Chain A
Amino acid sequence: MYIDPGTGSLIIQVVGATLVAITASVKGLRQAVGSLISRLWRRER
């Protein structure tokens, strides 16, 4: 049965998906930077 999705519940999904994507990107960026730093550190030593 199709239920009332609720206006606020539709909007928050779009906002939420953006937030989740940003969080994932920031996490990915942090990991990439972390791995780059550790590679440079190993090379230096």
Chain B
Amino acid sequence: MSAESVAASYRDPSGFVYRREGVLYRQINHSFRDSFDHFIKSGLYDELVADELLVPHSDADRSLAATDDAYRVIQPRVVPFISYPYEWAFSQLKDAALLTLDIQRRALKRGLVLRDATAYNVQMADGRPVFIDTLSFGRYTEGEPWVGYRQFCQHFLAPLALMARRDVRLGMLHAQFSDGVPLDLASTLLDLRSRANLGLLLHLHLHARAQRKYADRPAESAVQARRARLERPALERLLDHLGSTIAGLSWNPAGSEWAGYEQDNSYTERSLTEKETLVRDFLARVGPKVTWDLGANTGNFSRIAAGLGSRVLAVDGDPGAVELNYLRGKRAGERNVIPLLVDLLNPSPASGWANEERTALRDRGPADAVLALALIHHLTLSGNVPLPKVAAFFAELADSLIIEWVPLQDPQSQRLVVSRREPPHAYTIENFEAAFARHFETLDSRQLEGSERRLYLMARKRTRA
């Protein structure tokens, strides 16, 4: 029975995550014994788990350790789907930031501190952010500034400020910079008026300047800086200030491309109701535990799947749609839908060290079912992805597929091709059916009333083409 390391978990000498026979464990090394025991005995673990801010764990037998230097082995509750900050909507990242600060404040009250503040310590689970790194807690030394302050500002404050005050798409910078958005870059990109905001002036602009100023100083000045004292009440006030700065950042998705789509589409009320009924019927026949709703918009059909007991990944490429989807779920207290910002024409690749730290979207499956409603025309007519390639991609994602054919004469398709010089060839229902028949067997298909659109229920063929 060998231990299989988890590629993203190797930086921390205090311990690491691994799998044994498919079960996820975390090893805590002897070097971290004192801090871990203090974390548990302080009551912080119980407090955070009771308030659903931290993933709970159970104790596992030490014989399950992966290496000899294990002090303890724990079995964390598995987060159903791993997502990354560059796949989150504005409010998801903002809530993750506020969660991190909340935990840091609570830790401080119990004589502990967050030793790091990376956004990758947070995952989206049960409809909200949750902290996953049990080994991030160390003993607080009276008078010490917060060691995670730089990382917090780079991972949360900088991208949120850019998204709120410049362009929400700048959240994608997270994908490029593995340790958060450099503060000097954020400072350059932000508008002059952001300097009038005391929080942004201090935690971002002056912070960037201080980083620059001390970057090339000799080692002695770094040693002196480490002697800088910040008493606990002052640190608490600073954290409160950082919290109010984050809370003051907002983004309104009103002008976004698809955010108003559900109020502005080509369905009649009757055909929309019929489509909902059909999707519900198809889903009930499949009974998926995990559904990926691709092109989910604000999540109407995701919620039909969730209502049938499925955990749903609601993927859309429009920041506004994902933002509204998240806020909608948050307000309703939903736990089964994870909205995710991904451009399906350019889905998140494998990245990080050796391309192993963060997994490509495709490799985070498979799902039991994929919903691809009102999507095919975007992929093929806008994205120029040929139908056989779309079919092959979907066949990699799930055993079951519920897909809507949107014909060329549909007003939504026409919008996409109206300015084209050449009519798109090969975009016909015959070619669609032939392309998908290579990978899938069609179990059922129905034309939507009052529309030329058609809904298919497909099952992946056992032997792939």
Residues of A within 8 A of B347 (CB): none
Given A6-B150, A13-B238, A14-B145, CB of A1 within 8 Å of CB of B210: no
B235 within 8 A of A: yes
Q: A9-B207, A13-B230, A16-B203 are in contact. Are A3 and B115 (CB under 8 A)?
A: yes
Evaluate contact between B115 and A14: CB separation under 8 angstroms.
no
B146 touches A13 (CB 8 A): yes
**In the complex, which residues 232-284 of chain B have their Cβ closer than 8 Å to any Cβ of chain A?**
234-235, 237-238, 241
Contact present for B214 and A11 (CB under 8 Å): yes
In the complex, the answer to whether A1 meets B136 with C-beta atoms within 8 Å is yes
The answer to whether B149 and A1 have CB atoms under 8 Å apart is no
**B238 in contact with A7 (CB, 8 Å):** no
A1-45 near B? 1/0 per residue, CB < 8 Å: 111111111111111111111011000000000000000000000
B414 interface contact, C-beta 8 A:
no
| Contacts A1-B116, A1-B136, A19-B202; A6 near B235 (Cβ below 8 A) | no
Are B207's CB and A8's CB within 8 A? yes
| Minimal beta-carbon separation of A2 from chain B (angstroms) | 5
B14 x A1 contact (CB < 8 A) = yes
Report B8-34 CB contacts with A as 1/0, cut-off 8 Å.
000111100000000000000000000
Provided the pairs A16-B202, A17-B230, A23-B198 are in contact, do residues A9 and B150 lie with their beta carbons within 8 angstroms?
Answer: yes
The answer to whether residues A11 and B228 also contact, given A3-B116, A16-B202 and a CB cut-off of 8 A, is: yes
Q: Does B62 lie at the interface of the complex (its beta carbon under 8 Å from any beta carbon of A)?
A: no
Given the interface contacts A7-B221, A14-B230, A17-B234, does A2 sit within 8 Å of B211 by beta carbon?
no
Q: Which residue of the partner chain, among B115, B212, B238, contacts A17 with CB atoms under 8 Å?
A: B238
Who on chain A is nearest to B206 by CB? A12
* Nearest residue, chain A, Cβ from B179: A3
Number of cross-chain contacts by CB at 8 Å: 100
Q: Which residues of A contact B214 (CB under 8 A)?
A: 6-8, 11
Partner of A20, one of B11, B147, B241: B241
Chain B residue numbers with a CB within 8 Å of A2 are: 115-116, 138, 147
Closest CB in chain A relative to B18 CB, distance in Å: 16
> Which residue of chain A lies nearest to B15 when distances are taken between CB atoms in the complex?
A1
Give the interface size class of chain B.
35 or more
Do A24 and B237 touch (CB < 8 A)?
yes
- B12, B153, B215, B241 interface centre (most CB from chain A within 10 Å): B241
Chain B residues 57 to 92 lying within 8 A of chain A, measured CB to CB, are none
A1 CB to nearest B CB, Å? 4
In the bound assembly, the distance between CA atoms of A3 and B178 in angstroms comes to: 14
Q: Which residues of A contact B235 (CB under 8 A)?
A: 13, 17
Q: Quick one: which of B203, B212, B226 contacts A10, CB cutoff 8 A?
A: B226
Q: Which residues of B contact A20 (CB under 8 A)?
A: 202, 234, 237-238, 241
Determine if B225 is an interface residue (Cβ-Cβ < 8 Å).
yes
Taking the nearest CB of chain B, how far is it from the CB of A5, in angstroms?
Answer: 4
Contact A10 B115 (CB under 8 A): no
Chain B residues lying within 8 Å of A21, measured Cβ to Cβ, are: 234, 237
Q: Is the CB of B138 within 8 A of A10?
A: no
Kindly state the separation between the CA atoms of A24 and B210 in the bound complex, as whole angstroms: 23
Chain A: minimal CB distance from B151 (Å):
6
CB distance from A11 to the nearest CB of B (A): 5
The closest CB in chain A to the CB of B242 belongs to A16
B116 lies within 8 A of A8 (CB) = no
Jot down 16 A-B pairs with beta carbons below 8 A, ordered by A: A1-B12, A1-B14, A1-B115, A1-B116, A3-B148, A6-B214, A9-B145, A9-B150, A9-B153, A10-B149, A10-B228, A12-B206, A13-B145, A13-B228, A14-B228, A15-B210
A residues in contact (CB < 8 Å) with B:
1-21, 23-24
